[in-house]
Amino acid sequence: MPLSQPSQVQRSVMSNQQFLTLCLLPLAVFSLAFLALPLVQLTLGAASSEEGWGIYLKILATPRYLATLGQTVVISLLVTVAALLISTTAGLYLSRTRFPGRGMLISILTLPLAFPGVVIGFLIILLGGRQGLVNQLMPGHVVFAYSSLGLFLGYLYFSIPRVLLTVMAAAEKLDPALEEAARTLGAGPLRVLGDVILPGLAPSLIAAGAIAFATAMGAFGTAFTLATNIDVLPMVIYTEFTLAANIAMASALSIVLGLVTWFLLLLARSYSGGTVAAGG
């Protein structure tokens, strides 16, 4: 009996490897067919026009694309800063204060996380459109939904929950003993905030900021519903592809956009595990 054991173990090791390979097979096939090859095709498609690989230089040489890139970066930056300010303030408070209605408040602030961008665009229209709340309440004609303010508010809408979740998760991991020590040494609340809490949160804030920025850069649905008069990158990609049938330029701009958001989210992950991406 003991003599037969080694061969049995060997056989089970073999079939073990085979079983594991079999486990990976569906993913390998799917990712190759529907992720790797399409991305290769996208890269080739970008170089398929007369300009060839020079199409990336054309982006920089065309004022319209350059202006779009600039506007997209500026609005995404503004949204990121606003979302960080609002969500850090609210998140710190909510993670360390207990009061009736707190759970409800957290639910309201995090629930829109997976609302599609189109719906968020419509909600902004209900606030600031022609039949919107602000136009009904305010004297005069106040319509902001289709301006850059409307776009900003739409982006802010889906950024607040993302940043809030990251901040609250990080705030719960802070060591309360450090704060106590600072207070015992006579530091006021603002001193504690600036010298203890914010430095402790810094990696998560950088991560949250990168997530918010990347999501805003890639947001399509919100801009699509608002049909804003300012050009943002995803809208330009869409019109290049559908209206101008300029497939090479649409692909090149997509690659630029994809590289930017991918890099930012990689950065976010290196500062804190897990990303709350998607949507917009």
Partner 1 sequence: MRLTRYLPLGVALLAAAFLIVPAILSILAGITANYFRGLSSGLTLRWIFEVWELYAGSIFLSLWIALCCLVVTLLIGVPAAYWLARNPGRMARWLEEFVSLPLSIPGLALALALIQLYGSHLGFRTSWLFILTGHVLYTLPFMVRSVQAVWAGMDLTTLEESAASLGAGPWQRFRDIALPGALPGILAGALTVVTLSIGEFNLTWMLHTPYLKTLPVGLADAYASMRLEIASAYTLIFFVIIVPLLMAMQWASDRARRLTR
User: What is the phi/psi pair of residue 129, to 5°?
Assistant: -85, -170
Among 69, 79, 92, 201, binds partner 1 (CB under 8 A): 92
With binding defined as CB under 8 A, does residue 270 bind partner 1?
no
Amino acid in position 105? L
Among 105, 138, 142, 202, binds partner 1 (CB under 8 A): 105
What six digits make up the tokens of 23? 């486990």
Q: Report in angstroms how near the CB of residue 215 gets to partner 1 at its nearest.
A: 9
Among 160, 167, 168, 197, binds partner 1 (CB under 8 A): 160
Q: What is the DSSP string of 164-187?
A: HHHHHHHHHHS-HHHHHHHHHTT-
Q: Report in angstroms how near the CB of residue 67 gets to partner 1 at its nearest.
A: 19
Asked if residue 170 lies in contact with residue 207, where contact means CB atoms within 8 angstroms, the answer is no
Using CA atoms, how far apart are residues 89 and 66, in angstroms rounded to an integer?
35
Q: How many residues form the binding site for partner 1 (CB under 8 A)?
A: 88
Among the residue ranges 50-58, 61-69, 70-78, 111-119, the one whose residues contact partner 1 (CB under 8 A) = 111-119
By CB under 8 A, the residues from 13 to 72 that bind partner 1 are: 15-16, 18-20, 22-24, 26-27, 30-31, 34-39, 41-42, 45
With binding defined as CB under 8 A, does residue 234 bind partner 1?
yes
Among 68, 166, 228, 251, binds partner 1 (CB under 8 A): 251
x-marked contacts with partner 1 along 187-226 as a string, rule CB under 8 A = --xx-----------------------x--xx-xx--xx-
Using CA atoms, how far apart are residues 109 and 89, in angstroms rounded to an integer?
13
Ranges of H-type helices in the chain: 5-31, 37-46, 55-61, 63-96, 102-110, 117-128, 133-137, 148-173, 176-184, 189-192, 198-218, 221-226, 233-242, 247-271
With binding defined as CB under 8 A, does residue 149 bind partner 1?
no
Q: Which of 236, 230, 232, 233 is nearest to 257 (CA)?
A: 233
Closer of 87 and 230 to partner 1 (Cβ): 87
Q: How far apart are the first and last CA of the chain?
A: 64
Q: Report in angstroms how near the CB of residue 50 gets to partner 1 at its nearest.
A: 18
Residue 32 DSSP class:
I
Q: Report in angstroms how near the CB of residue 203 gets to partner 1 at its nearest.
A: 19
Q: Report in angstroms how near the CB of residue 181 gets to partner 1 at its nearest.
A: 19
Closer of 39 and 138 to partner 1 (Cβ): 39
Using CA atoms, how far apart are residues 141 and 239, in angstroms rounded to an integer?
31
Closer of 208 and 217 to partner 1 (Cβ): 217
Among 87, 166, 204, 272, binds partner 1 (CB under 8 A): 87
Using CA atoms, how far apart are residues 16 and 249, in angstroms rounded to an integer?
48
Among 121, 144, 151, 230, binds partner 1 (CB under 8 A): 121
Using CA atoms, how far apart are residues 192 and 178, in angstroms rounded to an integer?
9
Amino acid in position 257? L
Q: Report in angstroms how near the CB of residue 220 gets to partner 1 at its nearest.
A: 5
